[in-house]
Chain A
Amino acid sequence: MGEKYHTLEERMKILADGTKYDSCNSTTTCHTFTPDGRCIQLYKTLMTNSCSGECLYCPNRCGREATRASLSPDEIVKITWDFYRRNAIEGLFLSSGVIGDPELTTERQLDVLRTLRGSGFNGYVHVRLMPGVPRDMIREVSLLANKFGVNAETTCQSRYDEICPNFDYRNDILRRMEWTYGAVRQRRSEVRYGEGIIGANDTQFVVGATGEPDSEIIDTIGRFMDSYGLRRPFFMSFDPVPDTPLSGNKASPLWREARLYQTSYLLKDYGLKPRDLETVLDDRGFLPDDDPKLVLARLNRDAFPVDVNLSTYSELIRVPGIGPRTANRIVRCRPVLSYVQLASMGVVMKRARPFIKLGNSRQTDLEAFV
């Protein structure tokens, strides 16, 4: 389907609209918030929303009746600079529909990155790579971008085949994830911290498009963390798009995305393994709509209460209401003499009370709480 004439602002709107479901925040400044409460940190855009792919859930799939538009690399650079100078963004998130083949698309993405960096742009750049992107291009992207990765979308070959018929999970996704991790490691060995861009790899899952249970997603994240050094997975709740083969499916509840994020933090920051979380899941392998850390603590009653002055860091962080930061504070500044001191050190007493004790004193009975 050809593109009609649209002004720059109209094209910008169409293409930014196409990325609004993508999660891609850096860990720094939130410049503003949209009325749905999500923060805006980056200028998120597609290069084009024309695509030769036919992914079943995607508004940009080829053949779908939609207004098609594209932005040239120079236009993207200009808009990014303008927003960046105005301090409205921290950088750019660049994705695209597949223009012809993955190589051509990535070449266009690289044009944007080269021009941006060549003009002295120091901001954050996050690039969504195309499935099947060539290895040498991944290497070049790793020299210019702060984060890059191919979307895994789902958990295994068969589910992927169901929703993305044009690409191969093993070759176009998993192998590319291996290469992106290789590029990141190479970069880490070449550049010292603070002396150049050392990017990280990432991936995104569409939650609920193929009926996959959370247990599969959690296992996959654990596997990706071990095999591909994945630091942070992103999740996008499936929302049926009209005029696509999945338009009749039910949207995935938003809380599921939030619980998966919480679970991924347990894997990343708390050092838990997927098997530690098995008890939290229901019979069908889904997470309940409750804080997974709290559920885990309730299910492991024998491990509590922990003595704040005697337990190790890893025991402390398992207590609901005590995060890694507060656990550090406690370990460094023992002895803690009272619950008032604990509260003032940042422990959320309402949640932590039943799970901790100070010497022989316990404030609330765990049995009563559970």
Chain B
Amino acid sequence: MIIGYRRDVDDVLRAAIALKREPSATLVCGKNTRDVKEKLKLYRGDAKVMVEALVPHVPTAVRLKLRERPPRVGSRCQPSLHTYITFSLRHRQCVPDELVRLIASYYPDIGQALARKDGLAKKYFFMHMEVLREIERLKAHTRPRPAGGLMYVEIRPDHDVVDLYLEWIAKRVNDRASVVKAHDDSYYLANANLLGHDLWIKKISDEEARRLIGDLPQDDFSTWETYYDSQLIESRRNKTFAKKMLPAKYSYISPEVRLERLKIEHGISKHNLDDFF
């Protein structure tokens, strides 16, 4: 049997249940229904079926396990299985069939997958963490800059998280629209409704992006630099630790982070031209 399923949490779960019933089935994953159907056409044989036909309902007990969270630790929420699957699927190296087999191996006690007892569970646990960390990294270190009355920022994420970043920036800078350039030269407009569009987040052409932000002015972050410099306690300088906290590989995220990383490396010069004269 050939089972087609979409690359989302619900279908991964259904596919896992279906696989438990039909262990020898072949799995075919697609981005959306159309994509799955296209892919299914490439297979020979009659026993081709969409997963929802095989598993119309996910048992409630299993569904509840999906959202169940381990108790909070301090102020931090622990990931649920839903988070685990969602973010694993966004990893650039995720193989959805592998994930389905992992969930199926624990079915019906699927919550066990979170405990990362075996190699595969651990691999996907780290993959989902990598994606979560990438989002955190973008939220922490990207620095939108003012341009033409809007904000402008460039991002180059490794995983499929552009939509999450757009949602976040729209909420973060809620009084202005922001133009976001993703690494594949796609432009998006967050808070597009503030500029009269129907949508909150919208993909735009590069001409429109250029029209909105104009010629990108040289960014002036001297005020921020002054503040950053003022926060150093020289007697506590700890280069090794600071380098670990802000690794060089983050420098690509924004010019500010690049500069701060240099300051960690070489220290902050206490003398400027004004002191000299």
Chain A residues close to B by CB (< 8 Å): 9, 12-13, 16-17, 20-21, 27, 29-40, 43-44, 79, 82-83, 85-88, 120, 122, 239, 251, 254, 265, 268-269, 323-325, 328-330, 332-333, 336, 341, 344-346
Contacts and interface: CB of A to CB of B under 8 A. Distances in A.
Interface size on B, as a range, is 35 or more
B226 A36 contact: no
A79 B114 contact: no
Given A29-B136, A85-B176, A35 B224 contact: no
A346 B70 CA distance: 15
Looking at B75, B176, B244, the one whose CB has the most chain A CB atoms below 10 A away is B75
Contact of B268 (A17, A33, A35, A268): A35
Given A30-B140, A34-B232, A35-B268, A333 B74 contact: no
A287 to B, nearest CB: 19
A16 B118 CA distance: 49
A188 to B, nearest CB: 15
A344 B122 contact: yes
27 contacts: A9-B222, A12-B223, A13-B227, A16-B231, A17-B230, A20-B233, A29-B139, A31-B140, A32-B228, A33-B242, A34-B228, A35-B237, A35-B264, A36-B236, A37-B238, A37-B242, A44-B231, A83-B227, A85-B146, A239-B235, A254-B236, A329-B114, A330-B115, A332-B70, A333-B111, A333-B117, A341-B117
Nearest to A269: B74
Given A13-B230, A31-B140, A87 B223 contact: no
A127 to B, nearest CB: 19
Q: Shortest 7 CB-CB distances between A and B: which pairs? A: A333-B115, A37-B241, A16-B230, A37-B242, A36-B236, A324-B73, A37-B238
Interface in B106-164: 111-112, 114-119, 121-122, 136, 139-146, 151
B237 A82 contact: no
A323 B111 contact: no
B231 A40 contact: yes
A28 B74 CA distance: 13
Contacts of B140: 29-32
Given A32-B141, A35-B267, A35-B268, A336 B117 contact: yes
Contacts of B241: 37
B256 interface: yes
A328 B226 contact: no
Interface in B29-82: 70-71, 73-76, 78
B246 interface: yes
A269 B176 CA distance: 40
Interface string B82-126: 000000000000000000000000000001101111110110000
B231 A328 contact: no
A359 B9 CA distance: 37
